[in-house]
A and B are shown apart, each in its own frame.
Chain A
Amino acid sequence: MKAIKQTGLVLFLLGLAVFIGTIFTGSFSLKQAELDTFLKEQNYKSEVIGEALQKAVVTSNDLNIFQFSSAVRNAYATSNNHYDDLIAKYDAEKNWDEKGKQFQYKISGKPHSLSFSLAKSAGKGPAPDSTGLMWFLTFGLAIIGALMYIVPDVILLGKPGIKNNGVFLNAATNRGWIGWFAFIFLVTFYILLYFFPDYIVNWVYLVDPISNSISGNLASQWFLYGFLYCTVMSVMAVRMYIKYRHNKYQILRTTSVLFFQIVFAFLIPEILVRFEKPWYDFKNAFPLDYDFFFRWNLEELLASGAFGLFILVWGIVLTIVVVPVMVYFFGKRWYCSWVCGCGGLAETLGDPYRQLSSKTLLSWRVERIIIHSVLIFVLVMTGFALYTFFSGEGQVLGIKTQTIQDIYGFLIGSIFAGVIGTGFYPIFGNRVWCRFGCPLAAYLGFVQRFKSRFRITTNGGQCISCGNCSTYCEQGIDVRAYAQKGENIVRSSCVGCGVCSAVCPRGVLKLENGPEEGRINPTDVLLGNDVDLMDLVNKK
């Protein structure tokens, strides 16, 4: 068994190494005809760009992706600088007419994204040329290796039951060197994915055939991410199934998030694209889906006929009806722990790190300030977006709607949700985003705290204050503080993962959707101590 595990680890690391190594393979250059096609598709008005790009990338030199990217970005810069100079010149001459004309020649968009789309058709090498083989050597090996590492636990973990043995003695799960490596890897991955997609174009090649078979299009970096997301979740779900095989709640919950991720967040949107409908994830509620009310999205939906209208109505109904009604009956767990994709990744890939979340009072304070600020931010931004959409103006109170959207997209959508939200798993625990950043979690939390049937019931005085519940709470709730008082736990941040109940060695905690009345029950004296409460109150 140990040998299988070790072989698995070697295969996984090999797969990972080839995956990382793939970035540096292949050569990138275009033929004139290919460049012409690209320019035509892009519909650039600039006359400079064609020439600049031609000099840069129509070459017989073997450019690697970094040289290629830099050449392309230089070409864009050359073109834009050229027109900036003209603008400056006409500005100095006060030739407003000519100055105004120049703006249309400027190329907009992020240079790395433009370079990505060009690189996507310019690559030669193992990834684009022997995609199947390379897929096997990267994804294939890593999946096989990971499963070989995980599956022997059926026997090695011993009999079914909570087995957290050695969690804090292990460098991977105790912020040890492996944890720090995982942290660096994940953060780097997200930075590349969000900001330097052209550098990982070789990875995108690997999933082209899969993308093609589902949506009929070649893959983008977002398809790569979606595919990787589903793969990682599936493999790590196997780990969850084994670890919690005695616990039906955990098994059903894992199956549910896996289903919603693969079907709703991955397959359905891609298939929609095949039918020339807008890409849409039906479970992704606003404000987590923060760009739902952005002009481009509304216009796209309105332009796609009845189906687009249906999505529009569904998105609104989901947010203002389904979400609060479901939270009333089941707590926010129905979404955060059973449906949500971010929650899904946290509960599978992130499960080994759940014990690392901070439980200090300070972090609770920080958490409430940050998460509610994000909620306010998203609401203000959406207000701006809708105002702009209906009024046709580009700004509100002198602030450009586009600017505030860009700031949100960068700070919250990319840095917080991605780089920190997932990248920091190995250091801050697995629900960093859900706990500190997610505006939808804040919204669901309000409903859960004030109007819901959900609570974690505690078993009278049976708590021994051991601290397992608090330690394994991914949301950093000091569960023990309530349990040792015999109080029900009603907290806006609780996502109802059920692990506190699972790890409790005394059967103290139970997630329940009961009657709302009496849900919050501060206790003066714990069960087990026969003090006449009325007597006590009267004497006070």
Chain B
Amino acid sequence: MEHIVIIGNGISGVTAARHIRKLSDKKITIISAETEYFFSRTALMYVYMGHMTFEHTQPYENWFWKKNRIELKKGFVKTVETENKTLHFQDGASLTYDKLIIATGSKPNKFGWPGQDLDGVMGMYHKQDLENLEKYAPNNKVCKRAVIVGGGLIGIEMAEMLHSRHIPVTFLVRENSFWNGVLPEGESNMINREILSSGIDLRLSTNLKEIVADENGNVKSVIIDETGEELPCNVVGLTAGVSPNIDFIRDSGIEIGRGVKVNRYLETNVEGIYAIGDCAEQHEGIDQRRPIEAVWYTGRMMGETLAQTICDNKTQYKPGHWFNSAKFIDIEYQTYGWVWAQAKEHESRFYWEHEDGKKCIHINYDKTTREFIGINNFGIRMRHEFFDKILNEKRTVDYVLEHLADANFDPEFYKLHEKEIVAKFNQENNTNIQLKKKSWKRIFSKA
């Protein structure tokens, strides 16, 4: 029986394993050094915040793996010997495979800051980070202040986490507005305001110079580059992005760039070895995507796709229309299609913001053809299927606005803003778009 070995029990590896089991009877082993069972990494923050226990982050009960004959092995892979298809573990053990899936995800970036390895400095990525946080920041008596360095999604989540336990947080962001490499100005500003109004000390255009130790090797303070100011603190969160976690294959002959190089079938240069998820790097970005996408959803899709290939239905990785979502403290964010931070030349934009400053949408469309390109929505939920269909059918921005009621995915009885949005669009663009009533028929008709 063919033995499929998967390194990494994150969403990519586990999705691959589950789908291989659905499609075949192969022997499957998942290796992880982090935890015994699969958990949802994105939920770690809710454990610290007390919304859930760690067990709640595990989507499958512990018996699931045995029942589905997916073997779980706890261990840290040190090297991969591709010639005789063997994995060597740190503890000296080894394991042979027929096919190998590398799904080791990523690790937090460290940029060589002085003091970056002190006790009390951590990322927010692994289960161990969570345990560290419980140790160094259980409450605001032990941790009088925390400093977060880096302005992305994990940074703001970590700030929210610490804030939930009433620990004062200073948030150092290199850019001059939060996540403005991804978000257009309006949205980025909105999140700046959200962070500040939550009582988090947000400092834009600010870099970390060094982390200072006390006599015991613990964090004592940080020094800010621009001003030289010293901020006393007990915990430093480093959240300046992630990079592929692939150190163990550097000498294996598997081609790597920043990540493990794969083709559209998620195959590496070595036959029978594949890479998926955060650690995989496409030779060229697909569509307008980046070669490496450290996104939960793409990891899952790669797992689904690769399972097909491994089970003799060779399938290209063809991610559909781009989508993503996040939550910035109390503001939910979803995006469908492309809305770049800066409009491209052929693009036209429409931005609407609610008067309370907590809801907005940003629509991107082609100037000449008026084809809809993408939408950012903040504080309003939108229907994924709707936009997927719109993008498939290459509908115009006018069509989207006309059918905005079909797109709304907010809970029942919520206040609707469609009229206001369409009115603003009409006013700005001299159009006469009439909002249509929501239609179940349209919503559920399959294109």
Partner-B contacts on A (CB < 8 A): 158-162, 164-170, 246-249, 252, 355, 360-361, 457, 459-462, 464-468, 470-471, 480-481, 484, 498, 501-503, 505-507, 510-512, 514-515, 517-518, 525-531, 536, 539
Contacts and interface: CB of A to CB of B under 8 A. Distances in A.
Contact of A468 (B51, B59, B315, B443): B51
B413 A248 contact: yes
A294 to B, nearest CB: 39
B332 A507 contact: yes
B318 interface: yes
Given A161-B329, A164-B51, A470-B56, 5 more contacts: A460-B385, A467-B52, A526-B304, A528-B320, A528-B321
Contact of B43 (A165, A361, A464): A464
A526 B332 contact: no
15 contacts: A162-B330, A168-B51, A461-B301, A461-B384, A464-B40, A464-B296, A466-B57, A467-B57, A468-B43, A506-B326, A506-B332, A514-B440, A515-B440, A517-B444, A528-B320
B323 interface: yes
B193 to A, nearest CB: 11
Classify the interface of chain A: helix, strand, loop or mixed: loop
Contacts of A164: 49-51
Contacts of B384: 459-462, 527
B50 A169 contact: yes
Contacts, number: 163
Given A169-B50, A459-B384, A518-B444, A511 B40 contact: no
Contacts of A468: 43, 46, 51-52
- Of the listed residues A162, A465, A481, the one surrounded by the most CB atoms of chain B closer than 10 A to its CB is A465
A166 B52 contact: no
A249 to B, nearest CB: 5
B334 A466 contact: no
B230 to A, nearest CB: 30
B412 A511 contact: yes
A481 B430 CA distance: 47
Contacts of A466: 40, 42-43, 46, 52, 57
Interface in B389-441: 409-415, 440-441
Contact of A507 (B43, B301, B329, B409): B409
B82 interface: no
B11 A465 contact: yes
Contacts of A517: 444
Contact of A462 (B52, B323, B410): B323
Nearest to A517: B444
B57 A502 contact: no
A161 B49 CA distance: 14
Most buried by A among B57, B329, B381: B381
A530 to B, nearest CB: 4
Contacts of B319: 528-530
B411 A531 contact: no
Contact of A459 (B50, B330, B381): B381
Given A461-B297, A527-B388, A530-B319, A249 B59 contact: no
B42 A249 contact: no
Nearest to B19: A525
B34 to A, nearest CB: 16
Contacts of B320: 527-530
B327 interface: yes
Given A484-B59, A510-B411, A462 B334 contact: yes
Interface centre among B52, B164, B296, B332 (most CB of A within 10 A): B52
Contacts of A166: 49-50, 164-165
